[in-house]
Structure 1
Protein backbone atom coordinates (compact mmCIF):
# COMPACT_ATOMS: atom_id res chain seq x y z
CA UNK A 1 0.00 0.00 0.00
CA UNK A 2 1.28 3.47 -0.87
CA UNK A 3 2.33 5.61 2.13
CA UNK A 4 -0.16 8.35 1.20
CA UNK A 5 -3.05 5.88 1.10
CA UNK A 6 -1.92 4.36 4.41
CA UNK A 7 -1.81 7.83 5.95
CA UNK A 8 -5.32 8.65 4.73
CA UNK A 9 -6.66 5.40 6.21
CA UNK A 10 -4.97 6.10 9.56
CA UNK A 11 -6.49 9.60 9.65
CA UNK A 12 -9.89 8.13 8.78
CA UNK A 13 -9.57 5.58 11.61
CA UNK A 14 -8.60 8.38 14.02
CA UNK A 15 -11.64 10.40 12.94
CA UNK A 16 -13.93 7.41 13.51
CA UNK A 17 -12.46 6.90 16.99
CA UNK A 18 -12.99 10.59 17.75
CA UNK A 19 -16.65 10.25 16.75
CA UNK A 20 -17.16 7.10 18.78
CA UNK A 21 -15.46 8.90 21.67
CA UNK A 22 -18.50 11.16 21.93
CA UNK A 23 -20.61 8.05 22.56
CA UNK A 24 -18.10 6.65 25.06
CA UNK A 25 -18.12 9.94 26.98
CA UNK A 26 -21.88 10.33 27.11
CA UNK A 27 -22.37 6.75 28.26
CA UNK A 28 -19.60 7.00 30.87
CA UNK A 29 -21.04 10.11 32.52
CA UNK A 30 -24.33 8.30 33.06
CA UNK A 31 -22.56 6.67 36.01
CA UNK A 32 -19.62 9.02 36.67
CA UNK A 33 -19.51 12.74 37.56
CA UNK A 34 -18.67 14.62 34.33
CA UNK A 35 -15.63 16.58 35.55
CA UNK A 36 -14.27 13.56 37.40
CA UNK A 37 -14.63 11.44 34.28
CA UNK A 38 -12.73 13.95 32.15
CA UNK A 39 -10.07 14.34 34.85
CA UNK A 40 -9.23 10.67 35.12
CA UNK A 41 -9.61 10.11 31.37
CA UNK A 42 -7.05 12.75 30.44
CA UNK A 43 -4.66 12.11 33.31
CA UNK A 44 -4.50 8.40 32.53
CA UNK A 45 -4.10 9.16 28.83
CA UNK A 46 -1.15 11.42 29.68
CA UNK A 47 0.44 8.67 31.77
CA UNK A 48 0.04 6.24 28.87
CA UNK A 49 1.84 8.68 26.56
CA UNK A 50 4.59 9.49 29.08
CA UNK A 51 6.87 6.49 28.30
CA UNK A 52 6.97 7.57 24.65
CA UNK A 53 7.93 11.20 25.29
CA UNK A 54 9.68 11.47 28.66
CA UNK A 55 13.06 12.08 27.02
CA UNK A 56 11.61 14.94 24.99
CA UNK A 57 10.05 16.35 28.16
CA UNK A 58 13.37 16.26 29.99
CA UNK A 59 15.06 18.03 27.07
CA UNK A 60 12.44 20.79 26.93
CA UNK A 61 13.37 24.07 28.68
CA UNK A 62 11.36 24.84 31.83
CA UNK A 63 10.03 28.07 30.31
CA UNK A 64 8.44 26.15 27.44
CA UNK A 65 6.98 23.56 29.81
CA UNK A 66 5.31 26.33 31.81
CA UNK A 67 3.86 27.90 28.65
CA UNK A 68 2.61 24.50 27.45
CA UNK A 69 0.91 23.98 30.82
CA UNK A 70 -0.68 27.44 30.59
CA UNK A 71 -2.21 26.55 27.22
CA UNK A 72 -3.42 23.37 28.88
CA UNK A 73 -5.55 25.58 31.14
CA UNK A 74 -7.39 26.82 28.04
CA UNK A 75 -7.96 23.18 27.08
CA UNK A 76 -9.32 22.65 30.60
CA UNK A 77 -11.89 25.42 30.11
CA UNK A 78 -12.86 23.95 26.74
CA UNK A 79 -13.40 20.49 28.19
CA UNK A 80 -15.48 21.85 31.09
CA UNK A 81 -17.93 23.41 28.64
CA UNK A 82 -17.84 20.36 26.36
CA UNK A 83 -18.54 17.67 28.94
CA UNK A 84 -21.28 19.75 30.59
CA UNK A 85 -22.87 20.25 27.17
CA UNK A 86 -22.85 16.49 26.57
CA UNK A 87 -24.33 15.91 30.03
CA UNK A 88 -27.26 18.24 29.25
CA UNK A 89 -27.89 17.08 25.68
CA UNK A 90 -30.20 14.28 24.56
CA UNK A 91 -27.99 13.32 21.62
CA UNK A 92 -24.50 14.12 20.39
CA UNK A 93 -24.84 14.78 16.65
CA UNK A 94 -26.05 18.37 16.89
CA UNK A 95 -23.31 19.22 19.37
CA UNK A 96 -20.61 17.76 17.10
CA UNK A 97 -21.61 20.12 14.28
CA UNK A 98 -21.75 23.13 16.62
CA UNK A 99 -18.28 22.20 17.91
CA UNK A 100 -16.99 21.98 14.34
CA UNK A 101 -17.64 25.72 14.03
CA UNK A 102 -14.50 26.26 16.11
CA UNK A 103 -12.53 26.24 12.84
CA UNK A 104 -14.46 29.33 11.71
CA UNK A 105 -14.04 31.02 15.10
CA UNK A 106 -10.25 30.81 14.86
CA UNK A 107 -9.79 33.64 12.29
CA UNK A 108 -11.78 36.36 14.10
CA UNK A 109 -10.03 35.51 17.38
CA UNK A 110 -6.66 35.66 15.62
CA UNK A 111 -7.71 39.06 14.23
CA UNK A 112 -8.72 40.27 17.69
CA UNK A 113 -5.72 38.91 19.61
CA UNK A 114 -2.87 38.78 17.08
CA UNK A 115 -4.05 41.40 14.55
CA UNK A 116 -4.10 38.81 11.74
CA UNK A 117 -6.84 39.61 9.27
CA UNK A 118 -8.94 36.64 8.09
CA UNK A 119 -8.42 35.43 4.54
CA UNK A 120 -11.07 35.98 1.88
CA UNK A 121 -12.33 32.39 2.13
CA UNK A 122 -13.40 33.05 5.74
CA UNK A 123 -15.78 35.85 4.76
CA UNK A 124 -17.29 33.62 2.08
CA UNK A 125 -17.79 30.70 4.47
CA UNK A 126 -19.04 32.69 7.48
CA UNK A 127 -22.60 33.53 6.26
CA UNK A 128 -23.10 29.92 5.14
CA UNK A 129 -22.06 28.66 8.57
CA UNK A 130 -24.27 31.19 10.38
CA UNK A 131 -27.28 30.15 8.30
CA UNK A 132 -26.48 26.51 9.06
CA UNK A 133 -26.25 27.25 12.79
CA UNK A 134 -29.60 29.07 12.65
CA UNK A 135 -31.29 26.09 10.96
CA UNK A 136 -29.61 23.68 13.37
CA UNK A 137 -30.94 25.46 16.46
CA UNK A 138 -34.23 26.93 15.25
CA UNK A 139 -36.30 24.06 16.70
CA UNK A 140 -36.61 26.29 19.78
CA UNK A 141 -37.37 29.47 17.86
CA UNK A 142 -34.60 32.03 18.28
CA UNK A 143 -33.60 30.75 21.74
CA UNK A 144 -30.77 28.35 22.53
CA UNK A 145 -31.08 25.37 24.82
CA UNK A 146 -28.57 25.07 27.64
CA UNK A 147 -26.67 22.32 25.82
CA UNK A 148 -26.50 24.37 22.59
CA UNK A 149 -25.17 27.40 24.51
CA UNK A 150 -22.56 25.23 26.25
CA UNK A 151 -21.50 23.70 22.93
CA UNK A 152 -21.08 27.21 21.48
CA UNK A 153 -18.94 28.23 24.48
CA UNK A 154 -16.93 25.02 24.04
CA UNK A 155 -16.46 25.84 20.36
CA UNK A 156 -15.29 29.37 21.18
CA UNK A 157 -12.82 28.17 23.81
CA UNK A 158 -11.56 25.49 21.40
CA UNK A 159 -10.89 28.23 18.83
CA UNK A 160 -8.91 30.13 21.46
CA UNK A 161 -6.94 26.96 22.20
CA UNK A 162 -6.19 26.47 18.49
CA UNK A 163 -4.95 30.05 18.19
CA UNK A 164 -2.58 29.77 21.14
CA UNK A 165 -1.43 26.22 20.51
CA UNK A 166 -0.72 26.64 16.78
CA UNK A 167 1.71 29.47 17.55
CA UNK A 168 3.47 27.47 20.24
CA UNK A 169 3.39 23.87 18.98
CA UNK A 170 6.42 24.17 16.68
CA UNK A 171 8.66 24.91 19.68
CA UNK A 172 7.90 21.68 21.56
CA UNK A 173 7.82 18.03 20.50
CA UNK A 174 4.17 17.25 19.55
CA UNK A 175 3.81 14.18 21.76
CA UNK A 176 5.47 15.90 24.71
CA UNK A 177 3.20 18.92 24.26
CA UNK A 178 0.12 16.71 24.14
CA UNK A 179 1.24 14.79 27.25
CA UNK A 180 1.68 18.02 29.23
CA UNK A 181 -1.66 19.45 28.20
CA UNK A 182 -3.53 16.21 28.83
CA UNK A 183 -1.97 16.02 32.31
CA UNK A 184 -2.84 19.63 33.14
CA UNK A 185 -6.41 19.16 31.90
CA UNK A 186 -6.76 15.97 33.93
CA UNK A 187 -5.41 17.43 37.17
CA UNK A 188 -7.49 20.61 36.90
CA UNK A 189 -10.67 18.64 36.25
CA UNK A 190 -9.98 16.41 39.25
CA UNK A 191 -9.54 19.49 41.44
CA UNK A 192 -12.76 20.93 40.02
CA UNK A 193 -14.55 17.61 40.58
CA UNK A 194 -13.34 17.36 44.18
CA UNK A 195 -14.71 20.85 44.84
CA UNK A 196 -18.25 20.50 43.47
CA UNK A 197 -19.03 16.88 42.53
CA UNK A 198 -19.99 13.86 44.56
CA UNK A 199 -18.98 10.40 43.39
CA UNK A 200 -21.56 7.59 43.61
CA UNK A 201 -21.12 4.86 46.20
CA UNK A 202 -21.16 2.14 43.55
CA UNK A 203 -20.25 2.26 39.86
CA UNK A 204 -21.52 -0.34 37.41
CA UNK A 205 -18.94 -2.47 35.53
CA UNK A 206 -20.41 -1.24 32.22
CA UNK A 207 -19.58 2.33 33.23
CA UNK A 208 -15.95 1.36 33.81
CA UNK A 209 -16.01 -0.27 30.38
CA UNK A 210 -17.10 2.99 28.73
CA UNK A 211 -14.46 4.81 30.75
CA UNK A 212 -11.70 2.41 29.67
CA UNK A 213 -12.77 2.75 26.03
CA UNK A 214 -12.59 6.54 26.36
CA UNK A 215 -9.05 6.43 27.76
CA UNK A 216 -7.55 3.71 25.60
CA UNK A 217 -9.37 4.08 22.28
CA UNK A 218 -10.82 7.58 22.01
CA UNK A 219 -7.85 9.38 23.56
CA UNK A 220 -4.53 7.54 23.56
CA UNK A 221 -4.92 5.22 20.55
CA UNK A 222 -6.66 7.92 18.51
CA UNK A 223 -3.76 10.33 19.09
CA UNK A 224 -1.25 7.69 18.00
CA UNK A 225 -3.21 6.93 14.81
CA UNK A 226 -3.61 10.62 14.02
CA UNK A 227 0.08 11.35 14.57
CA UNK A 228 1.11 8.39 12.39
CA UNK A 229 -1.37 9.35 9.70
CA UNK A 230 -0.20 12.96 9.53
CA UNK A 231 3.32 11.75 8.74
CA UNK A 232 2.14 10.25 5.44
CA UNK A 233 -1.15 11.93 4.53
CA UNK A 234 -0.91 15.28 2.69
CA UNK A 235 -2.23 18.11 4.84
CA UNK A 236 -5.10 18.71 2.43
CA UNK A 237 -6.28 15.11 2.63
CA UNK A 238 -5.93 15.03 6.42
CA UNK A 239 -7.89 18.27 6.89
CA UNK A 240 -10.78 17.14 4.70
CA UNK A 241 -10.93 13.63 6.22
CA UNK A 242 -10.97 15.03 9.76
CA UNK A 243 -13.99 17.16 8.89
CA UNK A 244 -15.98 13.93 8.67
CA UNK A 245 -15.99 13.65 12.49
CA UNK A 246 -19.36 15.43 12.99
CA UNK A 247 -20.88 13.39 10.16
CA UNK A 248 -19.93 10.09 11.83
CA UNK A 249 -21.09 11.48 15.19
CA UNK A 250 -24.53 12.35 13.79
CA UNK A 251 -24.90 8.85 12.33
CA UNK A 252 -23.89 7.31 15.66
CA UNK A 253 -26.33 9.54 17.56
CA UNK A 254 -29.23 8.73 15.22
CA UNK A 255 -28.51 5.00 15.56
CA UNK A 256 -27.76 4.88 19.31
CA UNK A 257 -29.89 7.69 20.79
CA UNK A 258 -32.51 7.94 18.03
CA UNK A 259 -31.71 11.66 17.78
CA UNK A 260 -34.39 13.29 15.62
CA UNK A 261 -33.11 14.83 12.40
CA UNK A 262 -35.84 17.03 10.90
CA UNK A 263 -35.22 18.63 7.52
CA UNK A 264 -34.13 21.97 9.03
CA UNK A 265 -31.49 20.25 11.16
CA UNK A 266 -30.21 18.19 8.19
CA UNK A 267 -29.95 21.34 6.07
CA UNK A 268 -28.17 23.12 8.91
CA UNK A 269 -25.59 20.34 9.18
CA UNK A 270 -25.06 20.34 5.41
CA UNK A 271 -24.56 24.12 5.34
CA UNK A 272 -22.03 24.00 8.19
CA UNK A 273 -20.16 21.18 6.44
CA UNK A 274 -20.21 23.16 3.18
CA UNK A 275 -18.80 26.22 4.95
CA UNK A 276 -16.04 24.16 6.56
CA UNK A 277 -15.08 22.47 3.28
CA UNK A 278 -15.06 25.84 1.51
CA UNK A 279 -12.89 27.44 4.18
CA UNK A 280 -10.56 24.47 4.53
CA UNK A 281 -10.10 24.23 0.76
CA UNK A 282 -9.04 27.86 0.69
CA UNK A 283 -6.61 27.25 3.56
CA UNK A 284 -5.15 24.27 1.73
CA UNK A 285 -4.50 26.36 -1.37
CA UNK A 286 -2.87 29.02 0.83
CA UNK A 287 -0.70 26.34 2.45
CA UNK A 288 0.43 25.10 -0.95
CA UNK A 289 1.64 28.63 -1.68
CA UNK A 290 3.24 29.35 1.71
CA UNK A 291 4.23 25.76 2.71
CA UNK A 292 2.88 26.39 6.19
CA UNK A 293 0.61 23.62 7.47
CA UNK A 294 -2.45 24.48 9.61
CA UNK A 295 -2.84 22.95 13.07
CA UNK A 296 -5.04 19.87 13.03
CA UNK A 297 -4.81 18.34 16.50
CA UNK A 298 -7.94 18.49 18.66
CA UNK A 299 -8.17 17.73 22.35
CA UNK A 300 -11.45 15.84 22.28
Structure 2
Protein backbone atom coordinates (compact mmCIF):
# COMPACT_ATOMS: atom_id res chain seq x y z
CA UNK A 1 0.00 0.00 0.00
CA UNK A 2 1.27 3.47 -0.88
CA UNK A 3 2.39 5.55 2.15
CA UNK A 4 -0.13 8.31 1.31
CA UNK A 5 -3.02 5.81 1.24
CA UNK A 6 -1.83 4.36 4.54
CA UNK A 7 -1.77 7.88 5.97
CA UNK A 8 -5.32 8.50 4.77
CA UNK A 9 -6.49 5.32 6.53
CA UNK A 10 -4.85 6.44 9.78
CA UNK A 11 -6.57 9.85 9.52
CA UNK A 12 -9.89 8.13 8.80
CA UNK A 13 -9.37 5.92 11.86
CA UNK A 14 -8.68 9.04 13.93
CA UNK A 15 -11.98 10.62 12.85
CA UNK A 16 -13.88 7.44 13.74
CA UNK A 17 -12.21 7.30 17.16
CA UNK A 18 -12.94 11.00 17.72
CA UNK A 19 -16.61 10.44 16.88
CA UNK A 20 -16.76 7.43 19.19
CA UNK A 21 -15.20 9.62 21.87
CA UNK A 22 -18.38 11.73 21.95
CA UNK A 23 -20.37 8.57 22.79
CA UNK A 24 -17.80 7.34 25.33
CA UNK A 25 -17.80 10.72 27.09
CA UNK A 26 -21.57 11.10 27.26
CA UNK A 27 -21.99 7.59 28.64
CA UNK A 28 -19.15 8.03 31.15
CA UNK A 29 -20.53 11.27 32.63
CA UNK A 30 -23.86 9.57 33.28
CA UNK A 31 -22.08 8.06 36.30
CA UNK A 32 -19.08 10.38 36.79
CA UNK A 33 -18.91 14.13 37.50
CA UNK A 34 -18.13 15.86 34.15
CA UNK A 35 -15.03 17.84 35.18
CA UNK A 36 -13.65 14.91 37.16
CA UNK A 37 -14.10 12.63 34.16
CA UNK A 38 -12.25 15.05 31.84
CA UNK A 39 -9.53 15.58 34.42
CA UNK A 40 -8.68 11.92 34.88
CA UNK A 41 -9.14 11.17 31.16
CA UNK A 42 -6.60 13.76 30.05
CA UNK A 43 -4.16 13.26 32.91
CA UNK A 44 -4.00 9.50 32.31
CA UNK A 45 -3.62 10.08 28.56
CA UNK A 46 -0.69 12.43 29.30
CA UNK A 47 0.94 9.77 31.49
CA UNK A 48 0.59 7.24 28.66
CA UNK A 49 2.39 9.68 26.31
CA UNK A 50 5.10 10.64 28.84
CA UNK A 51 7.48 7.70 28.20
CA UNK A 52 7.60 8.62 24.50
CA UNK A 53 8.53 12.28 25.06
CA UNK A 54 10.24 12.35 28.47
CA UNK A 55 13.71 12.94 27.02
CA UNK A 56 12.41 15.70 24.73
CA UNK A 57 10.65 17.40 27.64
CA UNK A 58 13.87 17.47 29.65
CA UNK A 59 15.71 19.08 26.74
CA UNK A 60 13.02 21.72 26.13
CA UNK A 61 13.68 25.19 27.64
CA UNK A 62 11.53 26.03 30.67
CA UNK A 63 10.17 29.16 28.98
CA UNK A 64 8.72 27.11 26.11
CA UNK A 65 7.16 24.64 28.54
CA UNK A 66 5.49 27.49 30.44
CA UNK A 67 4.08 28.92 27.20
CA UNK A 68 2.79 25.47 26.23
CA UNK A 69 1.13 25.22 29.65
CA UNK A 70 -0.47 28.66 29.19
CA UNK A 71 -2.03 27.54 25.90
CA UNK A 72 -3.16 24.43 27.77
CA UNK A 73 -5.31 26.75 29.91
CA UNK A 74 -7.22 27.72 26.75
CA UNK A 75 -7.71 24.01 26.05
CA UNK A 76 -9.01 23.69 29.61
CA UNK A 77 -11.63 26.38 28.96
CA UNK A 78 -12.63 24.65 25.72
CA UNK A 79 -13.11 21.30 27.46
CA UNK A 80 -15.15 22.88 30.27
CA UNK A 81 -17.66 24.27 27.76
CA UNK A 82 -17.62 21.05 25.70
CA UNK A 83 -18.25 18.57 28.52
CA UNK A 84 -20.94 20.78 30.07
CA UNK A 85 -22.62 21.04 26.65
CA UNK A 86 -22.61 17.23 26.32
CA UNK A 87 -24.05 16.81 29.81
CA UNK A 88 -26.97 19.15 28.95
CA UNK A 89 -27.71 17.75 25.48
CA UNK A 90 -29.95 14.81 24.64
CA UNK A 91 -27.83 13.73 21.66
CA UNK A 92 -24.37 14.49 20.30
CA UNK A 93 -24.82 14.89 16.53
CA UNK A 94 -26.04 18.48 16.55
CA UNK A 95 -23.21 19.50 18.88
CA UNK A 96 -20.58 17.91 16.64
CA UNK A 97 -21.65 20.07 13.70
CA UNK A 98 -21.73 23.22 15.86
CA UNK A 99 -18.23 22.39 17.09
CA UNK A 100 -17.02 21.96 13.51
CA UNK A 101 -17.68 25.70 13.02
CA UNK A 102 -14.47 26.33 14.99
CA UNK A 103 -12.60 26.12 11.67
CA UNK A 104 -14.57 29.15 10.43
CA UNK A 105 -14.07 31.03 13.71
CA UNK A 106 -10.28 30.85 13.41
CA UNK A 107 -9.90 33.56 10.69
CA UNK A 108 -11.93 36.34 12.39
CA UNK A 109 -10.10 35.71 15.68
CA UNK A 110 -6.77 35.84 13.84
CA UNK A 111 -7.92 39.13 12.27
CA UNK A 112 -8.92 40.53 15.66
CA UNK A 113 -5.82 39.40 17.58
CA UNK A 114 -3.03 39.13 15.01
CA UNK A 115 -4.32 41.53 12.31
CA UNK A 116 -4.40 38.74 9.68
CA UNK A 117 -7.27 39.44 7.30
CA UNK A 118 -9.43 36.45 6.28
CA UNK A 119 -9.17 35.32 2.68
CA UNK A 120 -11.94 35.42 0.07
CA UNK A 121 -12.99 31.81 0.73
CA UNK A 122 -13.87 32.70 4.32
CA UNK A 123 -16.30 35.45 3.31
CA UNK A 124 -17.94 33.07 0.82
CA UNK A 125 -18.30 30.31 3.39
CA UNK A 126 -19.50 32.49 6.29
CA UNK A 127 -23.12 33.15 5.12
CA UNK A 128 -23.52 29.45 4.25
CA UNK A 129 -22.40 28.48 7.75
CA UNK A 130 -24.71 31.04 9.38
CA UNK A 131 -27.66 29.70 7.38
CA UNK A 132 -26.74 26.15 8.39
CA UNK A 133 -26.46 27.11 12.06
CA UNK A 134 -29.88 28.80 11.89
CA UNK A 135 -31.51 25.69 10.43
CA UNK A 136 -29.74 23.48 12.96
CA UNK A 137 -30.96 25.49 15.95
CA UNK A 138 -34.35 26.77 14.74
CA UNK A 139 -36.14 24.18 16.85
CA UNK A 140 -35.44 26.46 19.82
CA UNK A 141 -37.07 29.42 18.07
CA UNK A 142 -35.02 32.61 17.88
CA UNK A 143 -33.04 31.69 21.02
CA UNK A 144 -30.35 29.09 21.62
CA UNK A 145 -30.84 26.23 24.06
CA UNK A 146 -28.31 25.94 26.89
CA UNK A 147 -26.48 23.05 25.22
CA UNK A 148 -26.33 24.89 21.86
CA UNK A 149 -24.94 28.00 23.55
CA UNK A 150 -22.32 25.93 25.37
CA UNK A 151 -21.33 24.18 22.13
CA UNK A 152 -20.93 27.59 20.46
CA UNK A 153 -18.72 28.79 23.33
CA UNK A 154 -16.72 25.56 23.06
CA UNK A 155 -16.32 26.14 19.33
CA UNK A 156 -15.15 29.73 19.92
CA UNK A 157 -12.62 28.69 22.57
CA UNK A 158 -11.40 25.89 20.30
CA UNK A 159 -10.81 28.44 17.53
CA UNK A 160 -8.82 30.54 20.01
CA UNK A 161 -6.77 27.46 20.91
CA UNK A 162 -6.07 26.73 17.22
CA UNK A 163 -4.88 30.31 16.68
CA UNK A 164 -2.49 30.29 19.61
CA UNK A 165 -1.27 26.72 19.18
CA UNK A 166 -0.59 27.01 15.44
CA UNK A 167 1.81 29.90 16.12
CA UNK A 168 3.61 28.03 18.85
CA UNK A 169 3.58 24.37 17.76
CA UNK A 170 6.59 24.72 15.45
CA UNK A 171 8.83 25.68 18.35
CA UNK A 172 8.37 22.48 20.37
CA UNK A 173 8.09 18.76 19.64
CA UNK A 174 4.40 17.90 18.90
CA UNK A 175 4.21 14.96 21.31
CA UNK A 176 5.88 16.95 24.10
CA UNK A 177 3.50 19.86 23.46
CA UNK A 178 0.49 17.54 23.58
CA UNK A 179 1.71 15.90 26.80
CA UNK A 180 2.11 19.26 28.55
CA UNK A 181 -1.28 20.55 27.43
CA UNK A 182 -3.07 17.32 28.34
CA UNK A 183 -1.45 17.48 31.79
CA UNK A 184 -2.52 21.09 32.37
CA UNK A 185 -6.06 20.36 31.19
CA UNK A 186 -6.30 17.28 33.41
CA UNK A 187 -4.93 18.95 36.53
CA UNK A 188 -7.13 22.07 36.17
CA UNK A 189 -10.26 19.97 35.73
CA UNK A 190 -9.40 17.84 38.76
CA UNK A 191 -8.91 20.99 40.87
CA UNK A 192 -12.30 22.27 39.70
CA UNK A 193 -13.87 18.86 40.39
CA UNK A 194 -12.40 18.73 43.89
CA UNK A 195 -13.79 22.18 44.71
CA UNK A 196 -17.25 22.04 43.17
CA UNK A 197 -18.25 18.47 42.26
CA UNK A 198 -19.51 15.53 44.28
CA UNK A 199 -18.25 12.05 43.43
CA UNK A 200 -20.77 9.21 43.86
CA UNK A 201 -19.98 6.60 46.49
CA UNK A 202 -20.63 3.72 44.05
CA UNK A 203 -19.72 3.76 40.36
CA UNK A 204 -21.02 1.00 38.11
CA UNK A 205 -18.41 -1.18 36.32
CA UNK A 206 -19.82 -0.25 32.90
CA UNK A 207 -19.08 3.42 33.64
CA UNK A 208 -15.43 2.52 34.17
CA UNK A 209 -15.57 0.68 30.86
CA UNK A 210 -16.69 3.86 29.07
CA UNK A 211 -14.01 5.78 30.94
CA UNK A 212 -11.30 3.33 29.86
CA UNK A 213 -12.49 3.55 26.24
CA UNK A 214 -12.27 7.35 26.43
CA UNK A 215 -8.68 7.26 27.70
CA UNK A 216 -7.26 4.42 25.62
CA UNK A 217 -9.22 4.70 22.36
CA UNK A 218 -10.64 8.22 21.99
CA UNK A 219 -7.59 10.01 23.40
CA UNK A 220 -4.35 7.99 23.28
CA UNK A 221 -4.97 5.77 20.22
CA UNK A 222 -6.65 8.63 18.37
CA UNK A 223 -3.56 10.84 18.90
CA UNK A 224 -1.27 8.08 17.61
CA UNK A 225 -3.46 7.55 14.50
CA UNK A 226 -3.73 11.27 13.78
CA UNK A 227 0.00 11.92 14.24
CA UNK A 228 0.94 8.91 12.10
CA UNK A 229 -1.59 9.85 9.43
CA UNK A 230 -0.39 13.46 9.24
CA UNK A 231 3.14 12.17 8.74
CA UNK A 232 2.21 10.36 5.52
CA UNK A 233 -1.05 11.87 4.29
CA UNK A 234 -1.28 14.98 2.13
CA UNK A 235 -2.38 18.04 4.11
CA UNK A 236 -5.44 18.71 1.92
CA UNK A 237 -6.42 15.04 2.01
CA UNK A 238 -6.13 14.97 5.80
CA UNK A 239 -8.22 18.13 6.19
CA UNK A 240 -10.95 16.73 3.96
CA UNK A 241 -11.08 13.40 5.77
CA UNK A 242 -11.20 15.07 9.19
CA UNK A 243 -14.37 16.89 8.11
CA UNK A 244 -16.11 13.51 8.30
CA UNK A 245 -16.01 13.51 12.12
CA UNK A 246 -19.37 15.30 12.65
CA UNK A 247 -21.01 13.00 10.08
CA UNK A 248 -19.87 9.88 11.97
CA UNK A 249 -21.01 11.51 15.22
CA UNK A 250 -24.50 12.20 13.84
CA UNK A 251 -24.81 8.59 12.69
CA UNK A 252 -23.73 7.36 16.14
CA UNK A 253 -26.19 9.70 17.85
CA UNK A 254 -29.12 8.70 15.64
CA UNK A 255 -28.35 5.01 16.16
CA UNK A 256 -27.50 5.10 19.89
CA UNK A 257 -29.68 7.92 21.24
CA UNK A 258 -32.37 7.98 18.56
CA UNK A 259 -31.59 11.70 18.18
CA UNK A 260 -34.35 13.22 16.03
CA UNK A 261 -33.08 14.63 12.74
CA UNK A 262 -35.95 16.58 11.12
CA UNK A 263 -35.41 17.83 7.59
CA UNK A 264 -34.36 21.33 8.69
CA UNK A 265 -31.59 19.89 10.87
CA UNK A 266 -30.40 17.70 8.01
CA UNK A 267 -30.25 20.74 5.72
CA UNK A 268 -28.46 22.68 8.45
CA UNK A 269 -25.78 19.97 8.75
CA UNK A 270 -25.40 19.86 4.96
CA UNK A 271 -24.96 23.66 4.75
CA UNK A 272 -22.33 23.66 7.51
CA UNK A 273 -20.46 20.87 5.71
CA UNK A 274 -20.67 22.81 2.43
CA UNK A 275 -19.35 25.92 4.19
CA UNK A 276 -16.36 23.96 5.49
CA UNK A 277 -15.72 22.46 2.05
CA UNK A 278 -15.95 25.85 0.34
CA UNK A 279 -13.56 27.34 2.90
CA UNK A 280 -11.09 24.52 2.20
CA UNK A 281 -11.62 24.74 -1.57
CA UNK A 282 -8.52 26.86 -2.14
CA UNK A 283 -6.22 24.32 -0.46
CA UNK A 284 -7.97 21.41 -2.16
CA UNK A 285 -7.69 23.07 -5.57
CA UNK A 286 -3.99 23.84 -5.03
CA UNK A 287 -3.41 20.22 -4.00
CA UNK A 288 -5.30 18.93 -7.08
CA UNK A 289 -3.28 21.16 -9.42
CA UNK A 290 -0.01 20.07 -7.85
CA UNK A 291 -0.98 16.42 -8.30
CA UNK A 292 -1.91 17.05 -11.93
CA UNK A 293 1.44 18.77 -12.52
CA UNK A 294 3.28 15.83 -10.97
CA UNK A 295 1.33 13.36 -13.14
CA UNK A 296 2.09 15.33 -16.28
CA UNK A 297 5.75 15.63 -15.34
CA UNK A 298 5.95 11.92 -14.65
CA UNK A 299 4.68 11.05 -18.11
CA UNK A 300 7.34 13.09 -19.88
TM over 0.5: yes
Work out the CA distance in 2 between the residues paired with 1:3 and 1:238. 13
Larger radius of gyration: 2
Equivalent in the alignment of 1:217: 217
Measured against aligned partners, the alpha-carbon deviations of 1:114-167 in whole angstroms (never above 9, x if no partner) come to: 000000000000000000000000011111100000000000000000000000
Work out the CA distance in 1 between the residues paired with 2:284 and 2:184. 32
**Contact 1:235–1:284 (8 Å) recurs in 2:** no
**Contact 1:35–1:83 (8 Å) recurs in 2:** yes
Is 1:92 aligned with 2:105? no
Aligned-pair CA distance for 1:288: 9.1
Equivalent in the alignment of 1:174: 174
Equivalent in the alignment of 1:18: 18
Equivalent in the alignment of 2:278: 278
Equivalent in the alignment of 2:143: 143
The runs of 4+ residues in structure 1 deviating greater than 6 Å are: 286-289
**Contact 1:75–1:161 (8 Å) recurs in 2:** yes
Work out the CA distance in 1 between the residues paired with 2:15 and 2:23. 13
Work out the CA distance in 2 between the residues paired with 1:173 and 1:288. 30
Equivalent in the alignment of 1:131: 131
**Contact 1:20–1:218 (8 Å) recurs in 2:** yes
- Any residues of structure 2 matched to 1:21-60 within 5 Å, and which? 21-60=21-60
Aligned length: 290
Quick one: structure 1 residues 288 and 112, their matched pair in 2 at CA, closer, same or farther if it must change by over 3 Å?
farther
Aligned-pair CA distance for 1:283: 3.8
Equivalent in the alignment of 1:296: none
- Where does the alignment leave 5 or more consecutive residues of structure 2 unmatched? 290-300
- Any residues of structure 2 matched to 1:218-237 within 5 Å, and which? 218-237=218-237
Aligned-pair CA distance for 1:101: 0.1
Quick one: structure 1 residues 137 and 62, their matched pair in 2 at CA, closer, same or farther if it must change by over 3 Å?
same
Secondary structure of the residue aligned to 2:117 is: coil
- Alignment RMSD (CA, Å): 1.3
- Where does the alignment leave 5 or more consecutive residues of structure 1 unmatched? 290-300
Aligned-pair CA distance for 1:287: 8.0
Quick one: structure 1 residues 138 and 16, their matched pair in 2 at CA, closer, same or farther if it must change by over 3 Å?
same
Work out the CA distance in 1 between the residues paired with 2:157 and 2:286. 25
- Any residues of structure 2 matched to 1:52-201 within 5 Å, and which? 52-201=52-201
Secondary structure of the residue aligned to 1:270 is: helix
